Amino acid sequence: MRPERYVGLMSGTSLDGVDAVLAEFSDEACHVIGAVARRFPPALRAELLALQSPGDNELARAARAANALADVYAESILELLASTSTPAADVAAAGVHGQTLRHRPEEGWTLQLNNPARVAERTGVTVAADFRSRDVAAGGQGAPLVPAFHAARFRQRDTHRAVVNIGGIANVTDLPPALSEAPVRGFDTGPGNVFLDLWCAAHRGEPFDREGAWARSGKVDDALLAAMLADVYFAAHPPKSTGRDRFNQGWLDAQLAARKVLPVDVQATLLALTARTIAGAIGTYCPGVTEVLLCGGGANNAALRDALGAELAHRPVTTTATYGVAVEHVEALAFAWLAREVLAGRPGNLPAVTGASGLRVLGAVYPR
């Protein structure tokens, strides 16, 4: 088939900004032509964070924030096209996930802030968006959505892999060997970077703990870790998904109430929480895994990689970069792939992952 070009954009629960990739697809192969990363303006980031919780005048504030967010998406696309000398007409579509503000699949709804019509108007590119709602309407979690792409890109005939995306929330994709015909599964394991970033910003004035150096200098508080691990989410069986609705400042404050733990030791314990819950999920729900691939911002945290290596003894831990996809590109590339699927009228969900009643074409299309 003739190669097709798609853009993928992702802004995740870390709320640090937008990752955008331009990818070329041919049959089942794909490669990244170019990528840009654009940080959110401080005022927009603050508003997106505030909108995660109920507040005054939410509807108008959310509408204004959606426009500002769409402008960042559009600027990212235009910068990406300019940097790769790609005319907008050469792009089949851009997959734009939006920014999740609420995710309540147990109540039958999910909300991603976005204005895809504005993105299409500003860029001259067809936009695919609203990827979660159809799966939720079919009784699914609407998340995680990336396992279908993980399967298309990283599944092997005779190797049992797990792909772990560590964004604000971490999720795992179980990729049994293709020859086994076992289903691909995936789910959110719990906090990824969300508490590590939040605590580091509050106590160090830095957006994240570079290489996990601060966490590495502390000591894990076993009692605090045990209290955190007692949250019922970790014992719940898949399919399951979560977000800042659950794992937020209030949750952390409740865990720390009446405890006297040094800030550096809290950071070490939060890192242990992320490593322990990811490894525990793989051990419990992904039996037979022989190789673990990390992606997302947390894959750049050396202390977290080491902790995962220790927790996942006898299972090699590497990153998706080993197999040709930079860790910061995987999620954005997944939404380029999902845009391709919706334009082709192909299902983008995996019912074994989300719990939906069947395969569904995901997303709505806003023509150029």
Q: What are the DSSP calls for 324-360, one per residue? A: T--TTTHHHHHHHHHHHHHHHT-----HHHH--SS--
Name the token pair of 199.
């605590």
Residue 160 carries which DSSP code? -
pLDDT tens string, the chain, 368 residues long: the values are 567 999 999 998 888 899 999 999 987 689 999 999 999 999 999 999 999 888 899 999 999 999 999 999 999 999 999 999 999 999 999 999 999 999 999 999 999 999 999 999 999 999 999 999 999 999 999 999 999 999 999 999 999 999 999 999 999 999 999 999 899 999 999 999 999 999 999 999 999 999 999 999 999 999 999 999 999 999 999 999 999 989 999 999 999 998 999 999 999 999 999 999 999 999 999 999 999 999 999 999 999 999 999 999 889 999 999 999 999 999 999 999 999 999 999 999 999 999 999 999 999 999 99
Q: How many other C-beta atoms are found inside a 10 Å radius of the C-beta of residue 360?
A: 18
> Does the N-terminal peptide bond of residue 239 adopt cis geometry, omega within 30 degrees of 0?
yes
- Whether residues 179 and 99 fall in one domain: no
pLDDT for res 13: 81
Residue 323 lies in a domain: no
Cα(325)–Cα(222) distance, rounded to whole angstroms?
36
Which residue, among 145, 305, 155, has the nearest Cα to 215 in the 3D structure? 305
Beta strands per DSSP E along the chain: 4-10, 17-26, 29-39, 91-96, 99-104, 109-113, 127-129, 161-166, 169-175, 185-191, 291-295, 317-319, 364-366
CATH of residue 352: 3.30.420.40
Q: What are the DSSP calls for 16-82, one per residue? A: SEEEEEEEEEETTEEEEEEEEEEEPPHHHHHHHHHTTS--TTHHHHHHHHHHHHHHHHHHHHHHHHH
pLDDT for res 202: 96
CA angle 288, 354, 9 (to 5 degrees): 100
**Residue 364: which residues within 8 A CB-CB, separation 6 or more?**
116, 128, 129, 130
Cα(153)–Cα(80) distance, rounded to whole angstroms?
23
Cα(284)–Cα(204) distance, rounded to whole angstroms?
35
Name the token pair of 140.
């699914």
Residue 324 lies in a domain: no
Cα(111)–Cα(153) distance, rounded to whole angstroms?
28
**Residue 138: which residues within 8 A CB-CB, separation 6 or more?**
349, 356, 357, 358, 360
pLDDT for res 15: 84
- Whether residues 60 and 186 fall in one domain: no
pLDDT for res 26: 86
- Whether residues 163 and 47 fall in one domain: no
- Whether residues 169 and 305 fall in one domain: yes
Domain range enclosing 269: 147-315
Residue 320 lies in a domain: no
Residue 321 lies in a domain: no
Residue 303 lies in a domain: yes
Residue 156 carries which DSSP code? -
Cα(161)–Cα(32) distance, rounded to whole angstroms?
22
* Sheet of 291-295, strand order: 185-191, 169-175, 161-166, 291-295, 317-319
- Whether residues 162 and 70 fall in one domain: no
- Whether residues 76 and 160 fall in one domain: no
- Whether residues 133 and 222 fall in one domain: no
Name the token pair of 100.
């999740």
- Whether residues 108 and 216 fall in one domain: no
**Residue 347: which residues within 8 A CB-CB, separation 6 or more?**
341, 359, 360, 361, 362
**What is the Cα Rg of the chain in Å?**
20
- Whether residues 20 and 119 fall in one domain: yes
Residue 4 carries which DSSP code? E
Cα(79)–Cα(82) distance, rounded to whole angstroms?
5
Residue 322 lies in a domain: no
- Whether residues 273 and 185 fall in one domain: yes
Q: DSSP 3-state assignment of 118?
A: helix
Question: Number of folded domains in the chain?
Answer: 2
Residue 281 lies in a domain: yes
Number of H helices, E strands in the chain: 14, 13
pLDDT for res 2: 66
- Whether residues 138 and 153 fall in one domain: no
- Whether residues 130 and 153 fall in one domain: no
Q: Quick check: 168 and 193 in contact, CB under 8 A?
A: yes
pLDDT for res 1: 55
Q: Quick check: 40 and 72 in contact, CB under 8 A?
A: yes
